Chain A
Amino acid sequence: MERFRRLLSTTAVRLTIIYTVLFGLLALGVVAYISLNTSRLLQSQFQAAVDEEVRQISGVVRTLGLRRLIPTVEGRSRRPGANLYLVADANGRIIAGNVRDLDRALLGHEGWRSQPFEYQRFEDGDEELYRAIARVFTLPGGLKLLVGRDVGDATRFSQIVIQASAVSLIVLIGVALLLWFFVGRRALQRIDEVSKRSEKIIAGDLSQRLPTSGSGDEFDRLSGNLNAIIARIATLDAGVRNMSDSIAHDLKTPLTRLRNAAESALGAKSSKARNAELVRIVEGAGTLIRTFDSLLMISQVESGARPAQMEETELRSVLHDVYELFEPTAEESNVTFLCEIETRAKVHANRQLLAQALHNLLENAFKYAVDVNAPRITLSASQEGNRVEIAVTDNGPGIPPDSLEKVRERFFRLDESRHHPGSGLGLSLVDAVMRLHGGELRLEASEPGKGVERHETSGLKAVLVLPTIG
């Protein structure tokens, strides 16, 4: 019963029902129209035939006199398949004809009686009532002549039409029901399969995929799209797991340090020592908060749930502002800091996010390049077709080739850089910002070929590729 109720609620079945009802109504209309017109046609034919007979009989009476009336009527009455004939006198007594009895009142009305009336025939033992239409004509001498036609054939004819229509309607509904059953059941079967798999997926098995029949029909297309969504969810899910592992691991260390500082503060001998520990705690907590801020920022940028406001931005001015921000730092730490902007390109960007991405790249460059001899950092930009490439190039230690992709991951830090302060989130944010802008972050060695050997510096070139406007 449940299954039947579900079958009833499928779209295919609903459509079938609607079509069946509509088609049935239409067929009924057509049948009604045909039978109505047919009976009208038959009636007018009957009337024409009756009129002709009345004309002939009255012609006979007029030319040959009343005495020929009875033989003529009797003669016609005896013909096979004869019409109805009746001659009555002024008192309504039947004189001749093949009608045994009828409602005498009919004879009082001259002219057509097209509503069928009942009469009895002159046949042995036949007490049946027949139905006919007739015309009454008054002859000289007050005699009434009635010529009529039995409508039994016509009635039978319309009965046949009605029966045929009923049969065809029943067949129609039967076929529709069958169609409904098969189409609906097929749809339901596939939906059931999809539901079954979905339940497994909902239960957490993201390796499951929805079944496809390979026919490329609408179900396949739908399943294909849903499968793509599931694959995307699986990727994101893996990312989230990976990240929560990293968070747990990477935030435990600073928290432990914080706790240790708090413990030393509690056990400090002098207020000066205690204050020093408290300062460490405040700074450590500040670092942790900033780490969380960065994490939040990355996930907000990545989710794109609320798109950042993008506007037409002149790249040159952003680059100049950021260059100018770092310029004193370069001077102080004896880094040769160059700015080579060879483009006036405009980009569709969020100035704040773009500036922060550049800030992060420069921050990294300064952090690692200052350790080498004659450190040198270049901020450059150039147009390449309909894209602009912004590069931060340094001659620092660089990143080993096998880690170039990994450094984008949240919290990933090279072993060599562990002694530098940092959260391991800087490049993740840059990567997220670039993807939000429809661009990409490319990392490569600034001195290709070098850096494969241990302790050899390869430098780093971080390139932001952005689509330009116009």
Chain B
Amino acid sequence: MRILVVEDDADVGRQLVDTLQDADHQVTLHTDGASGLTAALKGDFDVLVVDRMLPKMDGLSLLRELRERDVTTPALILSALGQVDDRVIGLRAGGDDYLPKPYAAAELLARLEVLGRRTVSRSADTMLQVGDLELDRISHGAKRNGQSIVLQPREYKLLEYLMSNEDRLVTRTMLLQHVWNLHFDPQTNVIDVHISRLRAKIDKGFDEPLLHTVRGKGYRLGKLAVEETA
């Protein structure tokens, strides 16, 4: 993906660029809000990573300006301290996701993957399909290999989120956020239990498992278990 990073701190910026380049992304770095805005308006980026505190123009103003000019490139906001309401404020300004610093590299990459592919998202499709697993977004019914699977409402939401992010790493925090609309870091295994329940419904009795656990990071739904390189 082509990623624009707007971050004024040299160390953090360097580290961000390294992390993203290691994951095979093309990265452009800008160190102040004004030049970041110009770059975002001109350049063709898949996703933006914007720090909240920036010289010349702060991150939120930058996003507001972009959205006013109808630039819809998905943006992730980074903020120094995860204040209770920073997320809400950031999303209101036109951000699409929010991550407090310091963040885990895996979490950042997972979120950027999900954001960056949103442009080609299948949010409009009425049917989702991964391998022989099908999900009907209208009837909320699922089928695997022709056998219908009965889903509880929350299981449907969980599966829908995983399927719309096919082959992408999804962290526990992301799941709690999108499926339960709860924004904290679950320090328990509550999410794992939900996943294993869902797994029992969609994978049990089939040769090829679709729902994979990515050790220490989260989950991935896809035809092939891609081995993670940490």
Task: Enumerate chain A interface residues (CB-CB to B < 8 A).
Answer: 279, 282-283, 286, 289-290, 293, 296-297, 300-301, 306, 308-309, 321, 324-326, 328-329, 332, 350, 352-353, 355-356, 359, 363, 366
A-B contacts, 21 of them at CB < 8 A, read A279-B216, A282-B216, A283-B216, A290-B187, A296-B82, A297-B82, A301-B84, A308-B85, A309-B84, A309-B85, A325-B182, A326-B190, A328-B193, A329-B189, A332-B193, A352-B84, A352-B183, A355-B184, A356-B184, A359-B186, A366-B188
Q: Which residues of A contact B193 (CB under 8 A)?
A: 328-329, 332
Determine the residue in chain B with the shortest Cβ distance to A321. B180
Q: Is B139 an interface residue (CB 8 A)?
A: no
Q: Tell me the dominant secondary structure on chain A's binding face.
A: helix
The listed residue (B84, B104, B154, B181) touching A353 by CB distance below 8 A is B84
Distance in Å: Cβ of A299 to nearest Cβ of chain B: 10
Q: Which residues of A contact B194 (CB under 8 A)?
A: 325, 328
The listed residue (A293, A306, A325, A353) touching B185 by CB distance below 8 A is A293
Q: Which residues of B contact A308 (CB under 8 A)?
A: 84-85
Q: Which residues of B contact A293 (CB under 8 A)?
A: 82, 185
Interface centre among A286, A289, A328, A359 (most CB of B within 10 A): A328
Q: Are A328 and B182 in contact (CB under 8 A)?
A: no
Q: Are A325 and B88 in contact (CB under 8 A)?
A: no
How far is B102's CA from A308's CA once the two chains are assembled, in angstroms?
Answer: 21
Given the contacts A290-B185, A352-B184, A356-B184, A325 and B190 also touching, CB distance less than 8 Å: yes
Q: Are A297 and B189 in contact (CB under 8 A)?
A: no
Q: Are A328 and B82 in contact (CB under 8 A)?
A: no
How far is B191's CA from A363's CA once the two chains are assembled, in angstroms?
Answer: 12
Determine the residue in chain B with the shortest Cβ distance to A426. B187
How far is B83's CA from A350's CA once the two chains are assembled, in angstroms?
Answer: 13
Q: Is B197 an interface residue (CB 8 A)?
A: yes
User: Which parts of B169-216 form the interface with A (CB within 8 Å)?
Assistant: 180-190, 193-194, 196-197, 215-216
How far is B132's CA from A287's CA once the two chains are assembled, in angstroms?
Answer: 38
User: Which parts of B84-128 form the interface with A (CB within 8 Å)?
Assistant: 84-85, 88, 102, 104
Q: Is B138 an interface residue (CB 8 A)?
A: no
Q: Are B83 and A300 in contact (CB under 8 A)?
A: yes
Determine the residue in chain B with the shortest Cβ distance to A421. B187
Q: Is B81 an interface residue (CB 8 A)?
A: yes
Q: Which residues of B contact A290 (CB under 8 A)?
A: 185, 187
Q: Which residues of B contact A324 (CB under 8 A)?
A: 154
Q: Are B184 and A359 in contact (CB under 8 A)?
A: yes
How far is B188's CA from A363's CA once the two chains are assembled, in angstroms?
Answer: 7
Distance in Å: Cβ of B183 to nearest Cβ of chain A: 5
Determine the residue in chain B with the shortest Cβ distance to A422. B187
Distance in Å: Cβ of A188 to nearest Cβ of chain B: 45
Distance in Å: Cβ of B208 to nearest Cβ of chain A: 24
Q: Which residues of A contact B184 (CB under 8 A)?
A: 352, 355-356, 359
Q: Which residues of B contact A325 (CB under 8 A)?
A: 180, 182, 190, 194
Q: Which residues of B contact A321 (CB under 8 A)?
A: 180-182
Determine the residue in chain A with the shortest Cβ distance to B100. A293
User: Which parts of B51-74 form the interface with A (CB within 8 Å)?
Assistant: none
Distance in Å: Cβ of B145 to nearest Cβ of chain A: 25
The listed residue (B84, B104, B154, B216) touching A306 by CB distance below 8 A is B84
Q: Which residues of A contact B104 (CB under 8 A)?
A: 286, 289
Q: Which residues of A contact B215 (CB under 8 A)?
A: 279
How far is B82's CA from A293's CA once the two chains are assembled, in angstroms?
Answer: 8
Q: Are A328 and B197 in contact (CB under 8 A)?
A: yes
Q: Are B83 and A306 in contact (CB under 8 A)?
A: yes
Interface centre among B85, B187, B197 (most CB of A within 10 A): B187
Interface centre among B82, B85, B196, B197 (most CB of A within 10 A): B85
Q: Which residues of A contact B180 (CB under 8 A)?
A: 321, 325
Q: Which residues of A contact B102 (CB under 8 A)?
A: 289
Determine the residue in chain B with the shortest Cβ distance to A355. B182
Determine the residue in chain B with the shortest Cβ distance to A360. B187
Given the contacts A300-B83, A329-B193, A363 and B182 also touching, CB distance less than 8 Å: no
Q: Which residues of A contact B85 (CB under 8 A)?
A: 306, 308-309
Q: Which residues of B contact A283 (CB under 8 A)?
A: 216
Distance in Å: Cβ of A411 to nearest Cβ of chain B: 15
How far is B10's CA from A179's CA once the two chains are assembled, in angstroms?
Answer: 65
Distance in Å: Cβ of A12 to nearest Cβ of chain B: 46
Q: Are B82 and A363 in contact (CB under 8 A)?
A: no
How far is B189's CA from A282's CA once the two chains are assembled, in angstroms?
Answer: 17
Q: Are A296 and B84 in contact (CB under 8 A)?
A: no
How far is B180's CA from A300's CA once the two chains are assembled, in angstroms?
Answer: 24
How far is B186's CA from A308's CA once the two chains are assembled, in angstroms?
Answer: 20
Q: Which residues of B contact A286 (CB under 8 A)?
A: 104, 216
Q: Which residues of A contact B88 (CB under 8 A)?
A: 309
Determine the residue in chain B with the shortest Cβ distance to A322. B182
Q: Are B84 and A300 in contact (CB under 8 A)?
A: yes
How far is B171's CA from A304's CA once the two chains are assembled, in angstroms?
Answer: 30
With A332-B196, A352-B182 given, name 11 new contacts (CB 8 A): A279-B216, A282-B216, A283-B216, A286-B104, A293-B82, A293-B185, A297-B82, A300-B81, A324-B154, A329-B193, A355-B184
